[in-house]
């Protein structure tokens, strides 16, 4: 799509305002809204914003930033604001001189994609996004004790969030997204929406869009939507499962009919790379203090660096389809991650596995929760970090994952997350009061 096509589309869609969207290093959506009269300037990448006020872009020399829109991401929101139609464009952040900005998560992912392309690979991805819908009290606060008691794949009427979920899917489809399926998840009020396959950059854009749409529709229905990794202590956490398929030309590079389990050496190396860099990836894919409340041996959450063909609680699972449908699923990321950075580090880890021929050992059969210490040691299996602090230490020591983030994002991310952990460490939590206040 060129600028002229887009201008025509904007006019035909009766768009009055355009949201120029981007994300900060934590994956939070930011936007600069422009009236459609400023469209030409926006399409020429002339819209500026104050980078100093965005987390992760804080250096004084980065105050003047510009938004370079990706025209292929144009979409019209199927809702109106005060009767005005809104469209959106997802943007890369560039410096005032037009040079790419190292702190832009979308550019970071593009760099990883370019590395893959140089090795002859393109990546397709599928995502499964989980989230909770909570009712609100009179003051608009979410009621965590639940609005329903539905469970995995439950059918109405127990799934009272179904109407909201259906509305969300319809909205996403109206915006041109390809939703593969949607269903109730394990937890009460927990739902999942799955996207069809897309190239890796589109997948990251889709995750951001999904989060915005889910939150918007929930708000419209007086519900509170959350992608928080573990909102309920005794309920399933919110994962962001990602499936990968690497293509080499027209061929699925993961498939090999005569290979071990129908997997090619490339697939095994990719898995080996993911396992080798898993602890450092965790810092990015599970970037909040709360993320580590999910990574415990319950509710099929992964806790060990293992791969399996069937086990739902392994970090990496190989879905049963083979041949051209052969894929690798990563199950550790959660709903709080920045999808651009997560996909960038995961891709870098997989490519490192291919470059260095890192092999993953044999897959594990059965539940990973039952693995003995001895077996873990023999198989070189490591536990995923227990806390954000541990994950940051792992990140410090992993040159591949750090390299994929780039110096700017690594330092800004590390500083912010270390501070976040420190705030958590200093806080006295309700559990502690409940447990220790009455101590003699």
Which tokens is 75 given?
């979409």
120 lies in the binding site for other proteins (CB under 8 A): no
Which tokens is 214 given?
């889910």
Nearer CB in complex with other proteins: 250/370: 370
Nearer CB in complex with other proteins: 366/399: 366
Smallest distance, other proteins to C-beta of residue 358, A: 8
Nearest to 245 by CA among 113, 399, 125, 414: 125
d(Cα 172, Cα 268) in Å, to the nearest integer? 35
Using CB under 8 A, which of the segments 10-18, 48-56, 345-353, 374-382 binds other proteins? 374-382
Nearer CB in complex with other proteins: 51/273: 273
d(Cα 107, Cα 296) in Å, to the nearest integer? 33
**Cβ(208)–Cβ(23) under 8 Å?**
yes
Which tokens is 223 given?
């519900």
d(Cα 384, Cα 381) in Å, to the nearest integer? 9
Using CB under 8 A, which of the segments 59-67, 330-338, 344-352, 356-364 binds other proteins? 356-364
Using CB under 8 A, which of the segments 46-54, 55-63, 329-337, 376-384 binds other proteins? 376-384
Nearest to 161 by CA among 146, 139, 175, 145: 146
Greatest CA separation for the chain: 75
370 lies in the binding site for other proteins (CB under 8 A): yes
Using CB under 8 A, which of the segments 1-9, 29-37, 165-173, 359-367 binds other proteins? 359-367
- The Cβ of residue 371 has, within 10 Å, a number of other Cβ atoms equal to 16
Q: Which of 50, 220, 378, 422 binds other proteins (CB under 8 A)?
A: 378
d(Cα 335, Cα 21) in Å, to the nearest integer? 19
Q: Which of 249, 373, 377, 423 binds other proteins (CB under 8 A)?
A: 377
**Cβ(304)–Cβ(376) under 8 Å?**
yes
Nearest to 67 by CA among 30, 35, 37, 36: 30
Taking phi first (over 0 means left), then psi (-120 to 50 degrees means alpha), and beta for anything else, what does residue 261 get? left
Nearer CB in complex with other proteins: 45/297: 297
Smallest distance, other proteins to C-beta of residue 380, A: 4
| Residue-wise burial string across 177-188, b where 16 or more C-beta atoms lie within 10 A, e elsewhere | bebeebbbbbbb
Nearer CB in complex with other proteins: 81/365: 365
Return the SS3 of 370.
Answer: helix
Q: Which of 145, 357, 422, 432 binds other proteins (CB under 8 A)?
A: 357
Q: Which of residues 238-297 bind other proteins (CB under 8 A)?
A: 260, 265, 268, 272
379 lies in the binding site for other proteins (CB under 8 A): yes
45 lies in the binding site for other proteins (CB under 8 A): no
Using CB under 8 A, which of the segments 69-77, 211-219, 241-249, 357-365 binds other proteins? 357-365
Nearer CB in complex with other proteins: 168/349: 349
399 lies in the binding site for other proteins (CB under 8 A): no
Q: Which of residues 66-85 bind other proteins (CB under 8 A)?
A: none
CB-based burial label for 37 (10 Å; 0-12, 13-18, 19+): exposed
365 lies in the binding site for other proteins (CB under 8 A): yes
Site string for other proteins, 290-329 (x = CB under 8 A): -------------------xx-------------------
383 lies in the binding site for other proteins (CB under 8 A): no
**Cβ(31)–Cβ(21) under 8 Å?**
yes
Q: Which of 359, 371, 393, 416 binds other proteins (CB under 8 A)?
A: 359
CB-based burial label for 28 (10 Å; 0-12, 13-18, 19+): middle
Q: Which residues bind other proteins (CB under 8 A)?
A: 260, 265, 268, 272, 309-310, 357, 359-362, 365-366, 370, 377-381
């Amino acid at each position: 799509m060129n600028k002229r096509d887009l201008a025509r589309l904007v006019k035909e869609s009766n768009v009055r305002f355009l949201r120029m969207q981007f994300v900060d290093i934590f994956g939070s959506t930011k936007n600069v809204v422009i009236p459609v009269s400023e469209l030409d300037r926006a399409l020429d990448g002339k819209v500026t914003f104050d980078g100093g006020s965005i987390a992760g872009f804080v250096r004084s020399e980065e105050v003047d930033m510009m938004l370079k829109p990706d025209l292929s991401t144009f979409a019209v929101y199927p809702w109106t604001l005060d009767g005005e139609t809104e469209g959106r464009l997802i943007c890369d952040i560039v410096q005032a001189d037009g040079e790419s900005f190292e702190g832009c998560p979308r550019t970071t992912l593009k760099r990883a994609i370019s590395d893959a392309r140089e090795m002859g690979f393109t990546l397709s991805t599928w995502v499964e996004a989980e989230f909770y819908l909570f009712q609100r009290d009179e003051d608009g606060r979410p009621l965590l004790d639940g609005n329903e008691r539905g469970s995995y794949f439950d059918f109405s009427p127990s799934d009272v969030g179904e109407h909201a979920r259906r509305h969300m899917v319809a909205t996403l489809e109206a915006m041109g997204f390809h939703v593969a399926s949607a269903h109730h998840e394990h937890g009460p009020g927990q739902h999942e929406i799955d996207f069809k396959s897309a190239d890796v950059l589109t997948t990251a854009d889709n995750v951001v869009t999904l989060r915005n749409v889910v939150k918007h529709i929930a708000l419209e229905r007086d519900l509170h939507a959350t992608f928080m990794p573990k909102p309920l202590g005794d309920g399933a956490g919110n994962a962001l499962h990602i499936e990968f398929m690497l293509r080499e030309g027209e061929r699925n590079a993961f498939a090999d009919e005569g290979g071990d389990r129908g997997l090619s050496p490339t697939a095994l190396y990719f898995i080996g790379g993911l396992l080798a860099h898993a602890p450092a990836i965790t810092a990015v894919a599970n970037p909040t203090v709360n993320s580590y409340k999910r990574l415990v041996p319950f509710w099929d959450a992964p806790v060990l660096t293992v791969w399996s063909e069937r086990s739902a609680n392994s970090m990496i699972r190989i879905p049963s389809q083979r041949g051209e449908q052969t894929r690798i699923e990563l199950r550790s990321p959660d709903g709080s991650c920045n999808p651009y950075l997560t996909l960038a580090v995961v891709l870098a880890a997989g490519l490192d596995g291919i470059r260095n021929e890192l092999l993953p050992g044999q897959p594990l059969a059965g539940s990973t929760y039952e693995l003995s210490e001895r077996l873990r040691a023999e198989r070189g299996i490591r536990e995923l970090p227990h806390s954000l602090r541990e994950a940051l230490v792992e990140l410090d020591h992993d040159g591949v994952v750090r390299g994929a983030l780039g110096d700017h994002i690594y330092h800004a991310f590390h500083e912010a997350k270390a501070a976040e952990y420190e705030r958590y460490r200093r806080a006295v939590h309700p559990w502690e009061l409940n447990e220790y206040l009455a101590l003699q």
